[in-house]
Chains A and B, each alone.
Chain A
Amino acid sequence: MTPEPAGPAPAATGAGHRSDHSSEEAGDTSMTTTAPWPAAGEGRAPAAVPAPRGARRTARRRALGACGVLMTPFFVLLVTVFLIPVATAVWLSFFGSDEPGLGFGPERTVFVGLRSYAAVLTDPTFLSGLGVVALYCLLYIPLMVLCALVLALLLDSGVVRLRAWAQLGLFLPHAVPGIIAAIIWLYLYTPGLSPVIDLLGRAGVTVDFLGIHTVVPSIVNIALWSNLGYNMVVFYAALQAVPREVVEAAVVDGAGPVRTALQVKTPLIRASIVMVAMFTLIFALQLFTEPMLLSQSTPMISSRFSPSMYIYDAAFNRNNYGLASAASVVLLVCTIALSYGVTRWTGRLDARSVPDEQQEAAV
């Protein structure tokens, strides 16, 4: 209904494209499988019922037509709000304006090769932004994974009173929008407004939560507060799926609750831990909302505090599109490289520890 001012045309080509495939595919499937309905779910054992070739072909074409219709709206969006913008960002990063400040129009842009990249990578404000995000990730990700995991294990241990209420309370901040979480904490960091600073002051402690050394931990605290409960629920759900036989075996073996939690349950939910760490990393690298809001109240946060803020500043305050695009490509490459690294690294860990796990399960 709504996203298609340009809808009908791509929709039609999308469907046509898919049916082109279908005729090729029909040939494939008739040779490799004998499934009467080639469109049945993959990985299913083919039933050995022969059907007339023509009928199969029609059914296959109809199935792929339906598949195309179901997928088209999403892929129209994927192309328009994802692929084209990413390609544009890469494209723009190789162009620049030779007369900065004299207004900007596409006709004035000139190819500058890697000049924007050189400018970004030698810009001390961008490098310090990368440093800030690196520090933020080093503090935030381990803290988040550890706290969420410990809370999930404690809740799963069965000795917590009012477990459902505790979970609900921990989950509540997830319903608080990021900008509002930042507003709440900003006010809790503001002397005069904050009961926390007031209480600490009465105890003779003065803390400047937005000082030069405390500002990154203060942002980590906001992010931790917002996402702790959600990740705890993800871990808790994974813990509930741990086979009871394995836990029983550990208990019979004489493992205490702490050992069971750390050496039996935790390795079994490794996939969830990796997933949470990965998503936390991806969102941490985009750090923007919290520092953007805090920058309204503290001089410790410049307008180029994090890479995302640098991109925003370059694009919309300085109108330097080439610089902004080069910075966003650098951020994108960092994100992809780190995610790939995490997947590869954990994949290798998995491969190494599978025999151990089997041993443990056998006991």
Chain B
Amino acid sequence: MSMGRARDVRGVRGVRVDGPAGASAALRPRLLGRSTVNVVVAVSVLYTLLPVLWLVLAATKGSDALFSSDLLSFRDFALFSNVRALFATDGGLYGRWYVNSLLYAVLGAALGALISVACGYAFDKYRFRHKEKLFGLVLAAVMVPQTVLALPLYLMASGTGVVNTFWAVFVPVLFNPFGVYLGRIFSQGYVPDEVLEAARVDGAGELATYAKVSLRMLVPGVVTIFLFQLTGIWNNFFLPLVMLSDQHLYPVSLGLFTWNSQASVTPDYYPVVITGSLLAVLPLIVAFALLQRFWRSGLTAGAVK
């Protein structure tokens, strides 16, 4: 919707840009302005892309080429041996970490997104006492630093005996108050109240209506929240650092952190950490690319309100 309007705006401005081009005096600064704009944007894109490009090139190099800063030559193409070394280091821990990260992130984000959307939907469609106060509490939860919660969560986890298990990381990451906020906005935008009224007139149960009708309309919202949470959990570093001591339960982020600390002592770890970092970036890029259609619309809905 807003996309269409934006295209119109650009059309109008396009006319304006080409319109009064008769006077060359007025044309020159405009051309200058145009190229300045393009140069600024190009430099910014280089700023964001070059470090990633460095990571890609560095992952294809053996240690010698890496330390001679000889990145652009293809004499020493060692990507495959690097990957082999990566999965062989410390008895194949990296593969384990990768699977752990996928489990924490994909399962956690899927379940978390469903929980958040259900709650956001209920906030939008039902009325009850103190609703806005309760919603305020949800919003307040967004800004509480993770470091504040870490010690009590650790003590609770060790009290119940789940510390240093899968659940110690998995359960807290399900909590996503910002997802509830987004869920409420998406529910306002995607599920018209008339649909619910019609379903009630037809005698459909509330929960059946949610599962069969509303949830389908909310799919773009669910996917957006899923992606946000997937990124969040994949990036999560603090909670596993606090909760886990068994290296076999580590996610990739924490594993690379420990390997990097060894790299300053044993430089052999540098190529392994670099290759491991490159592989750890791939799932999110794949997820963003595959689900592009959804999160673009979702992001717009979240930003404009």
- Chain A interface (Cβ within 8 Å of chain B)? 1-3, 5, 18, 21-22, 24-25, 29, 37-42, 44, 59, 62-67, 69-71, 73-75, 77-78, 80-82, 84-86, 88-89, 92, 147, 150-151, 154-161, 166, 169-181, 183-188, 192-195, 198, 225, 228-229, 233-235, 237-244, 247-248, 251, 257, 272, 275, 282, 285-286, 288-289, 292-293, 296-297, 307-308, 311-312, 315-316, 321, 324-325, 328-329, 331-332, 335-336, 339
Asked if B93 CB lies within 8 Å of chain A CBs, one says no
Q: Measured between C-beta atoms, what is the minimum distance from B197 to chain A in Å?
A: 6
Count B-side interface residues using an 8 Å CB cutoff: 113
> How far does the alpha carbon of A285 sit from the alpha carbon of B146 in the complex, in Å?
11
- Chain B interface (Cβ within 8 Å of chain A)? 2-3, 5-6, 8-10, 12-14, 16-17, 33-34, 37-38, 40-42, 44-45, 47-49, 51-52, 54-55, 58, 66-67, 69, 71, 107, 111, 115-116, 118-119, 121-129, 131, 137-138, 140-156, 167, 170-172, 174-175, 177, 180, 188, 193, 196-197, 200, 205-207, 210, 231, 234-235, 237-238, 241-242, 252-254, 256-257, 260-261, 264, 270, 273-274, 277, 280-281, 284-285, 288, 299-300, 303-304
> How far does the alpha carbon of A25 sit from the alpha carbon of B207 in the complex, in Å?
20
Closest to B101 in A: A177
Q: Measured between C-beta atoms, what is the minimum distance from A241 to chain B in Å?
A: 5
Known A25-B128, A40-B193, A159-B17; judge A241-B277 contact (CB<8 A): no
Closest to B122 in A: A70
Contact, CB under 8 Å: A86 / B13: no
Chain B residues, Cβ within 8 Å of A237: 2, 299-300, 303-304
Contact, CB under 8 Å: B143 / A282: yes
Q: Measured between C-beta atoms, what is the minimum distance from B41 to chain A in Å?
A: 5
Chain A residues, Cβ within 8 Å of B13: 157-158, 247, 251, 257
Chain B residues, Cβ within 8 Å of A158: 10, 13-14, 17
Chain B residues, Cβ within 8 Å of A335: 143-145
Contact, CB under 8 Å: A78 / B281: no
Contact, CB under 8 Å: A293 / B41: no
Contact, CB under 8 Å: B170 / A21: no
> How far does the alpha carbon of A307 sit from the alpha carbon of B153 in the complex, in Å?
18
Closest to B10 in A: A158
Contact, CB under 8 Å: B44 / A151: yes
> How far does the alpha carbon of A3 sit from the alpha carbon of B260 in the complex, in Å?
33
| Residue with the highest number of chain B CB atoms closer than 10 Å, among A25, A74, A251 | A74
Could you list 25 examples of A-B contacts with CB < 8 Å? A2-B107, A25-B128, A41-B125, A67-B122, A71-B122, A71-B123, A75-B119, A78-B175, A78-B177, A86-B152, A88-B155, A89-B152, A160-B37, A160-B38, A172-B48, A177-B280, A185-B51, A192-B69, A193-B67, A195-B69, A241-B300, A289-B237, A293-B257, A296-B261, A311-B151
Contact, CB under 8 Å: A74 / B116: yes
Chain A residues, Cβ within 8 Å of B141: 78, 82
Known A179-B257, A225-B47, A251-B13; judge A184-B277 contact (CB<8 A): yes
Known A74-B118, A161-B38, A228-B48; judge A178-B145 contact (CB<8 A): no
